[in-house]
Amino acid sequence: MEQRRLGESGVVVSSICLGTMTFGAQADEQESFRIMDRATEAGVDFFDAAEIYPVPPSAEWAGRTEEIVGRWMKSRARESVILATKVAGPAHGWFNPPARAPKAAVDGVHLRKALEGSLRRLQTDYVDLYQVHWPDPGMRPEDLLETLDAFVREGKVRVLGISNENAWGLMKALWAADKEGFRRFDTIQNNFSLNNRRFEDELAEVCRREKVSCLPYSPIGGGVLSGKYNDGARPEGARFSDYLDHPGARQRAMAERFVNERSLESTRRFMKIAEEAGLHPVTLAVAWSKQHDFVGSTIIGVSCVEQLDPILAAAEVILEPAVLEAIDGVSREIRYPMG
């Protein structure tokens, strides 16, 4: 499998990354082990976790995914897998922004406790990529970066990343890091798929110019691009089946960001393009994602090992210009209310 560098760091990873947010919920520990075994056999050496996983997050489940990955790693050489995880972010109460503090006082912030918790659950003394899951736009980036930089200097983290950030937020963090001499973000993990191309509006250019690698999540559009929600289907166990008819407005709104009239129409058209190209629609979606020059590694997630086959097939696929043009034609015709 092709290997790619994360930003301008020394960390090189497989072009497909195994996301783990289903581990401990949709996939039990035994199935999670099977998924990780199959992925590594195919050449995937990059795993992405988070302290709040599995999804949907809950106080009872938080950290379960990291624990499963940690137990699986016990029988393997630590350096054989590039481990990424994420600190939740202000929406989940991990950080009470302190006043600008001297380095000696950084130990007291909640961010350090979060990292120590992840290291303990993953059963390792360092993570290769540590990411901020949700940014805090009201906080000075220097306060966050000083602590993260300390983690790198201490050898607990190799590379830093941000997730769910916009172009302004990423640039502000990069400027602050350069000004203060802190370690930069080498990656940004955002939603990017055939059904959500907003990353290309501004962030793609930031990544190109600033040498930051995009790590797309939901490249299959939350499963929509597989076609499983077509014609009003609600497949059992699927991510949004329950949420689409959920009485809670928040859950329903989340599902409808991915499953809506426009996304289903574009999915039908993309499936036709895939058929004409002799590809599984999931293979088409993942191959399209990893073919962008600003993408470091495309993050995929599954709930059973069988779902890996069409995903892993994309590792060797390079889409022809005619296929890319057909995809762009659909994107021009259908604009998505997603982001």
**Positions marked active-site:** 53
- What pairs with residue 82 in β-bridges? 46
129 in Cβ contact with 159 (< 8 Å): yes
Q: How far apart are CA 69 and CA 217, in angstroms?
A: 19
Overall size of the chain counted in residues: 339
**Helix, strand or coil, per DSSP, at residue 220:** coil
Q: How far apart are CA 287 and CA 130, in angstroms?
A: 26
**Helix, strand or coil, per DSSP, at residue 208:** helix
The tokens for 102 are: 């001297």
The tokens for 132 are: 């901020």
Angle at 38 between CA 301 and CA 49, to 5 degrees: 40
196 in Cβ contact with 224 (< 8 Å): no
**Helix, strand or coil, per DSSP, at residue 174:** helix
Verify cis geometry, omega within 30 degrees of 0, for the bond prior to 235. Answer: no
Cβ contacts of residue 84 below 8 Å, gap of 6+?
A: 17, 46, 47, 48, 49, 127, 128, 129, 130, 131, 161
Q: How far apart are CA 209 and CA 132, in angstroms?
A: 22
Cα 296–chain centre separation: 11
SS (H, E, C) 89-133: CHHHCCCCCCCCCCHHHHHHCHHHHHHHHHHHHHCCCCEEEEEEC
The tokens for 293 are: 């020059």
255 in Cβ contact with 243 (< 8 Å): yes
